[in-house]
Structure 1
Amino acid sequence: MSHTRHNRRPPSTIPGRWLMGLLLATSLFTQAQAASPDTLRAQFAELRDKGTGQLAGQSIYLRSSESAERMQGEVHALIDQPFDRLRQELAKADRWCDVLILHINVKYCRALRTPSGDELVSGVGRKFDQPLSDVYWVRFGFKATVDRSDHLLVELSAPTGPLSTRNYRIVVEAVPQASGQSLVRMTYSYGFGTAARWAMKTYLATLGRGKSGFSVVDTTADGRPVRVEGVRGVVERNTLRYYLALQSHLQSSEAPGTARLQRSLELWFSATERYAEQLHEMERADYVTMKLKEVQRQATVAPPPPG
């Protein structure tokens, strides 16, 4: 896989913003290791019993970790969708562009069949309308590592990216649950080098100043929670954005024809507004208008060739 971008360099303020949006997922391992369905259920039960990382009364549990060269966010969630439908929507590469484009930083996505396998060509940029000449292009390999009637494991991976970033992956694992529900675990992580570290420091000192994640790391004297900031805060915000994109796509799957896109956009925005303190970036009408334009553009503009 390779990374390509247009010759015109984005403005100097882009790297931090790009990096915040681009953190498109990798696991801590070189290759995702599938847990058994019972193990996945046991992990969710433990989180639920302890309340670890639970978000706003939802059946969504978010946690993150940080090491010297890698960041990771992870969501465990119970979703009100039957496993058969989830499997139908997520086991094929072409459905994933309908998921990724919901994220506010994803400006383009096209699924391609190549001699080496399925790819998703993604353009990632800023949180407002911008030309494709200003986005960063990343090519993700797609693989359904496990695709069975009782277990799904899907991996999206890109080995390299700009600014010394590397090993991006989105790993989604799901199993059926009682009452027509499904359990989902989504892992999102990336590796980085010196250039990426400095780009993130610039972002956190300017546009990202004062923004927090979700994990509670302390309490104030009057008992109010203190939430994680810095790079872990960035990872947590984007982990949840991508999970909510997956959830919104699934929830809109029964909408007819062109109404499905509109429905998924409305659901994603409403879902992120439940966590407006961390995730709000623009008004609903502006988001929907921007995304409708981007979806139309990606249907008519060919992706750049590998390079």
Structure 2
Amino acid sequence: MVLWLALGAWALGAQAIAQEAGSAQALRELHQKLAGQLARSPLKRPMHLESVETENGLQGDIYAVVDRPLGEVRAALGNASQWCEMLLLHINNRRCRVARQPDGDVLTLSVVRRYDTPVEQAFELPFTHRTASATRDYLAIDLSAEAGPLGTSRYRVMLEATPLGERQTFLHFGYAYDHNMMARYATMAYLATFGSHKVGFTVVGKAPNGQPEYIRGLRGLMERNAMRYFFTLDAYLAGLKVPAAKRSEKRLHRWFEAVEQYPEQLHEIDLATYLAHKHEDRQREAGAAR
């Protein structure tokens, strides 16, 4: 995937998502409101995806129920280093490093335009990591950056979570970004030509053969990236079920398996190629640390 056009490097804009963290009560009310969609989700699991084109960019939100207690989610995602490890599951993310700053830990993600592009050609996105709330019944984590590459700005990602009983957690994963007119036109031109076959997940009609017609264009792009990044979260949590020595491989396989459930939208490469690139990245970073 041509990532600078897909804007999939967590191009996340602050304007599109609420500026302040919510609350456990508000999130539980949202879960009740979405109960029908979650139960009948076409995404093959209790998950609901929304996307919207805003005045200045794009916004995506995923709501999902996961079979993990909130305490485990909080422990797994409480610091920037854990987020780095999680984000590196994405096929185009090649390196992630954390530095402590006065305003909070800064997570710098190195992203390539294609999965096989050398990491030396990656562009870097620095996100400030902040835990907005970490109470017994509510977790809110915020990542933000003011500027990004190629006409993008005001990046933000927000994760909210509240328990559903003792064994499940309801998650809201939201992200958005602003883009200038030049970036928007460049993306639309790509989607109208080389990316014209790419679709998202929202059903907008039926084809003559009765098959669903999926949304295309900017919102389709947003939905594909939303799902890829949500699956980094899902795969990272899945790794908690296995011994520490096996977690990395478990997470890599889980991410790839999740993506491949939606080949029309998300398929790019085979498992062997994906694992080869991820193992190469791990070995390079291990060598740099020595």
Per the TM superposition, whether the score is higher than 0.5 is yes
Q: 2:3 aligns with which of 11, 17, 34?
A: 17
Per-residue deviation, residues 269-298 of structure 1 (Å, max 9, x unmatched): 001111111011000111011112123334
Deviation at 1:206, TM superposition (A): 4.1
Do 1:101 and 1:295's aligned partners in 2 also have CA atoms closer than 8 Å?
no
Counterpart in the other structure of 1:120: 107
Query: Which of 166, 185, 197 is equivalent to 1:198?
Result: 185
For 1:221-300, list aligned pairs within 5 A. 221-300=208-287
Residues in 1 aligned to 2:189 and 2:79: alpha-carbon distance in whole angstroms: 37
SS of 1:252's equivalent in the other structure is helix
Which piece of structure 1 moves more, 32-41 or 97-106?
A: 32-41
C-alpha deviation, 1:70, in angstroms? 1.6
Q: Secondary structure at the match of 2:244?
A: coil
Structure 2, unpaired ranges of 5+: none
Question: Superposition RMSD on alpha carbons, in Å?
Answer: 2.1
**1-side partners of 2:215 and 2:40: how far apart?**
12
Residue in structure 2 matching 1:63, options 26, 50, 61:
50
1:156-196 CA-to-partner distances (Å, cap 9, x unmatched) read 11110111100111110001112411110000111000231
Aligned to 1:103, the other structure's residue is in SS state coil
**In the alignment, which residue of structure 2 is the partner of 1:209?**
196
Amino acid at match of 2:34: L
The 3 A distance-change label for structure 1 pair 28 and 45 is farther
User: Using a 3 Å threshold, how does the CA distance of structure 1 residues 203 and 301 change in structure 2: closer, same or farther?
Assistant: farther
Q: Secondary structure at the match of 2:240?
A: coil
Q: Which runs of 5+ in 1 are unaligned?
A: 1-13, 303-307
CA contact (8 A) 1:107 1:124 kept: yes
Q: Which residue does 2:127 correspond to in 1?
A: 140
Distance verdict in 2 for CA 1:242–1:50, change over 3 Å: closer
Q: Tell me which amino acid in the other structure corresponds to 1:115.
A: P
SS of the equivalent of 1:267 reads: helix
Over the matched positions of the two proteins, sequence identity in percent amounts to 35
Higher relative contact order, chain-length normalized (CA < 8 Å, sep 6+): 1
The Cα shift of 1:234 comes to: 0.8
Q: Counterparts of 2:42 and 2:12 in 1: how far apart (Å)? A: 20
**8 Å CA contact 2:16, 2:176 repeated in 1:** no
**1:114 offset after TM fit, Å?**
1.9
Q: 1:125 & 1:166 partners in 2: Cα distance?
A: 18
Are the counterparts in 1 of residues 40 and 46 from structure 2 also a CA contact under 8 Å?
no
Give the CA deviation at 1:131: 1.8
Partner Cα separation in structure 2 for residue 207 and residue 301 of structure 1: 37
Deviation at residue 69 of structure 1 after TM alignment: 1.2
Q: Residue type matched to 1:209 in 2?
A: S
Assess if the C-alpha contact under 8 Å between 1:118 and 1:143 holds in 2: yes
Distance change (3 Å), C-alpha of 1:300 and 1:55: farther
CA distance in 1, matches of 2:193, 2:97: 32
Query: Is this contact kept in 1: 2:53–2:219, CA < 8 A?
Result: yes
Q: How far apart are residue 259 of structure 1 and its match?
A: 1.4
Deviations along 1:56-112, whole A, 9 cap, x unmatched? 331011010012312011000000111101001112111001111011111111122
The aligned counterpart of 1:89 is: 76
Please give the alpha-carbon distance, in whole angstroms, between the structure 2 residues aligned to 1:229 and 1:289: 31
1:40 maps to which residue? 27
Residues 196 and 300 (structure 1), Cα distance of their counterparts in 2 relative to 1, 3 Å cut: farther
Kindly state the Cα deviation for residue 219 of structure 1 after the two structures are TM-superposed: 2.3
Q: Is the 8 A contact 1:101 1:109 kept in 2?
A: yes
Aligned equivalents of 2:16 and 2:257: distance in 1?
33
Hey, what's the Cα distance between the residues in 1 that align with 2:190 and 2:159?
Answer: 28
Q: SS where residue 258 of structure 1 aligns?
A: helix
Q: CA deviation at 1:121?
A: 0.7
